[in-house]
Amino acid sequence: MTETKVQSPIEDFDWAAYENGETAGSKSREELVNTYDESLKTAKDNEVVTGVVKSISKREVRVDIGMKSDAIIPVSEFRYNPDLKVGDEVEVFIETLEDKNGQLRLSHKKACQTRSWDRVNQALENDEIIKGYVKSRTKGGMIVDVFGIEAFLPGSQIDVRPIRDYDVFVDKTMEFKVVKINQEYKNVVVSHKALIEAELEAQKREIISKLEKGQVLEGKVKNITPYGVFVDLGGVDGLVHITDLSWGRVSDPREVVELDQDIKVVILDFDNEKKRIALGVKQLLPHPWDALDQTVKVGDHIKGRVVVMADYGAFVEVQPGVEGLIHVSEMSWSQHLRSAQDFLKVGDEVEAVVLTLDRDDRKMSLGIKQLKKDPWENIEEKYAIGSRHTAKVRNFTNFGVFVEIEEGVDGLIHISDLSWTKKIKHPSEFTQVGNEIEVQVLEIDKDNRRLSLGHKQLEENPWDVFETIFTVGSIHEGVITEVMDKGAVIALEYGVEGFATPKHLVKEDGSQAKLDEKLNFKVIEFNKDSKRIILSHSRIAEDANKAETRQQRPAAKKPRREEEATVAPAIEKTTLGDLGALQALKEQMQKEERK
């Protein structure tokens, strides 16, 4: 028989509490609850914490973060970690401590994204070098996976050299620096170029410190621009300006070099501060002027091709690197201001005469007008004084018309030599630029290569006849064509013009004669040399009044025959227009007017 051991009662057992359902001894229920709550880890929504994997199934992973309950996370969020096992610690993002169903909701994926974003910001703040995986190409650059975040790598930030094939970088893991973050849109920009620039900068300083003018180096053509070629000298770039590529004219650097070509260059200049290096290629070659035929001299004929045009002339390449200038004044014997483009264009093959040649300064001037005979050599024979020719109107001045009889032979028709009878204020009233005009040579100025010409001299001087028509005292009908402060211009017969001052324009009734009014005028002055006729309308009435007054005086009376004798000559002279010679002159002048 087994002996039963009797337990002694607990002396301080609280039977009253036991009857009330309280079994915690001296501790209250509230204290027990507080103790339990404090045993749980404190956590908040949208926070990343560490949890422990409790179980793994095909679809779910149960994770304990020390809360009242565990959370279920889809196994797909751990696919990057195929070795995950029970007991592993993982980071999770608390989406909510208690949803509407009272469940704790966690996300491992969001935890990774949050940690990655913090990591990227930290890398930017600390200027840290990180690694990334180049996933694919995109417009303007590449997509790089950095800490699970897709970052953008611009094409200009891949390398210090221009990249022509982006595909070679896809699926490669490279080092980068975070250069920009857009916090609002969660965009990240990274650079691989930034990693090597600092190193290259040190290399540049070292290379430049060893450079000397005139030093010959080898380099690789890195980039070609319209103005020159950039050459990589092994960590530092130099520029060969287009003018330093060749002794000849170069319109496009691609005519001389191509990308990735290895070339020899000479250092022309460099700037330590700005790290600019000026290079040359043509300086390594003999100067073409040294190869110019030593027998070439002034006066020789030489052939070449027009390579550059300017308003003032054309540059002709007579052999590669050797050019001569044909000034526009050496293109034609004509002295009219013209542009060189009127004679030549780029690409023209020309023959020219060597005018000047300076081998030391490497300059040559050429001429093409010298291939033709100078028209002024025998000017006295071809355009003798008094000879008549047809010329072309080139331009006007206030004092005359410039005409060209042939290329290189110019002349001036003074405004006073355009017409015998017309008062011409400006040559444009008489002819137009481009028109042909008949001229007569009046004078020859061989030194200044200019002829004095006349047009009116082709006709007889009508003033010899007018002298017999418009005698002082004769009366003629005229029309007022122009009124000025000083007087009026009156058109007379035969195309002649006269002038009357205001006091000679007063009519018998005291009024002033007006424009376009037809009246009789008396000639009070005639000057053949200055071709001037002074008229008066008022003098007619004045003379008539005087004559009447004389008749009324008995002592001053004259026989009628004597009075008729004094008037007859004036009347007789006004009827000379009926003569055959004057009629022919009138017809000729009218014909000239129509021209």
The b/e string for 218-229 (b: 16+ C-beta within 10 A; e otherwise) is: ebebbebeeebb
d(CA 517, CA 514): 6
At 342, give phi and psi (nearest 5°).
-75, -15
Which of 20-29, 49-58, 544-553 bottoms out in mean pLDDT, i.e. has the lowest? 20-29
Please report which confidence band the pLDDT of residue 366 belongs to, taking 50, 70 and 90 as the band edges: very high
Instruction: Give the least confident one: 309-313, 315-319, 471-475, 548-552.
Output: 548-552
Residue 125 buriedness (CB in 10 A; 0-12 / 13-18 / 19+): exposed
183: in domain: yes
Same domain, 442 and 524: no
Query: Which whole number is the average pLDDT over 566-581?
Result: 43
- Confirm whether 438 is domain-assigned: yes
Percent of the chain residues topping a pLDDT of 90:
13
Same domain, 335 and 385: no
- 477 in the same domain as 453: no
Of 371, 398, 432, which closes a domain?
A: 371
3-state SS of 132-170 is EEEEEEECCEEEEEECCEEEEEEHHHCCCCCCCCHHHHC
Whether 92 is covered by a domain: the verdict is: no
In this predicted structure, what is the pLDDT of residue 2? 41
Q: Which two tokens stand for residue 69?
A: 């309950």
Q: Per-residue pLDDT for 485 more than 70? A: yes
Per-residue pLDDT at 250:
83
- Non-local (6+) Cβ contacts of 136 within 8 A are 142, 143, 170
- Are both 509 and 582 inside the same structural domain? yes
pLDDT computed for residue 593 by the predictor: 54
Q: What is the CATH number of the domain that holds 225?
A: 2.40.50.140
Residue 102 has pLDDT above 70, yes or no: yes
Locate 570 and state its tokens.
């004036």
Residues 489, 575 within the same domain:
yes
Whether 27 shows a pLDDT value over 60: the answer reads no
End residue of a domain, out of 322, 339, 371:
371
pLDDT digits 0-9 by tens, 515-557: 999 999 999 998 887 788 999 988 888 888 888 778 776 654 5
Q: Which pLDDT value is given to residue 93?
A: 80
Lowest mean pLDDT among 13-17, 332-336, 428-432: 13-17
Question: Looking at the domain assignment, is residue 178 inside a domain?
Answer: yes
Instruction: Give the chain's domain count.
Output: 5
pLDDT greater at residue 434 or residue 459: 434
For residue 539, give its domain range: 463-590
Which one is predicted more confidently, 228 or 114? 228
pLDDT recorded at residue 459 = 78
Confidence band for 501, pLDDT divided at 50, 70 and 90: very high
pLDDT band at 336 (very low <50, low <70, confident <90, very high): low
Q: Are residues 544 and 573 in the same domain?
A: yes
Place of tokens 């030093």: 215
Can you tell me the distance from the alpha carbon of 338 to that of 311, in angstroms, rounded to the nearest whole number? Answer: 8
Instruction: Provide the pLDDT confidence category of residue 26 given band limits of 50, 70 and 90.
Output: very low
Q: Give the residue, 274 or 343, on which the prediction is more confident.
A: 343
Rounded-to-integer distance, Cα 18 and Cα 177, Å: 69
Q: Rounded to an integer, what distance in angstroms lies between the CA atom of residue 474 and that of residue 571?
A: 7
Which has more pLDDT, 467 or 313? 313
pLDDT single digits (tens) 165-187: 888 888 888 888 888 988 888 78
Domain-located, residue 520? yes
Q: Which amino acid is at 470?
A: F
Q: Residue 189: inside a domain, yes or no? A: yes
pLDDT at 352: 92
Note the pLDDT of residue 63.
86
Q: Is 0.85 topped by the overall pTM?
A: no
- Other C-beta atoms closer than 10 Å to the C-beta of 76 total 11
Q: Which of 226, 277, 280 is nearest to 255 (CA)?
A: 226
The answer on pLDDT for 207 being more than 80 is no
What does the pLDDT read at residue 595? Answer: 52
Q: Which pLDDT belongs to residue 568? A: 39
pLDDT band at 489 (very low <50, low <70, confident <90, very high): very high
Q: Judge whether residue 133 has pLDDT over 80.
A: yes
Looking at the structure, tell me whether residues 250 and 348 fall in a common domain. Answer: no
Q: Across all residues in the chain, what is the average pLDDT?
A: 80
Within a domain: residue 177?
yes
Confidence band, pLDDT 50/70/90 cuts, at residue 162: confident
Between 337 and 259, the higher pLDDT residue:
259
Across residues 420-431, what is the average pLDDT?
Answer: 82
Query: Does residue 346 sit within a domain?
Result: yes
More confident of the two residues 590 and 377: 377
Question: Are residue 501 and residue 577 in the same domain, yes or no?
Answer: yes
Model pLDDT, residue 458: 82
Predicted confidence (pLDDT) at residue 381 exceeds the cutoff of 90: no
**Rounded Cα–Cα distance for residues 46 and 95 (Å):** 6
pLDDT at 413 over 70: yes
Q: Region 575-584: what's the mean pLDDT?
A: 49
When pLDDT is averaged across residues 404-408 and rounded to a whole number, the result is 84
pLDDT tens for each residue of 285-300: 888 888 788 888 898 8
The SS3 of residue 342 is helix
- Of 466, 500, 463, nearest to 480 by C-alpha is 500
278 shares a domain with 217: yes
In the block, which residue shows the tokens 């204020």?
425
Do 233 and 176 fall within a single domain? no
Could you say which of 139, 172, 196 is where a domain stops?
196
Same domain for 515 and 570, yes or no, is: yes
Give tens-digit pLDDT for 183-201: 888 789 999 888 877 777 7
Query: 242 and 329: one domain?
Result: no
pLDDT at position 166 is 83
Instruction: Supply the pLDDT for residue 535.
Output: 93
pLDDT of residue 549: 79
pLDDT, position 523 = 92
364 residue type, one letter: M
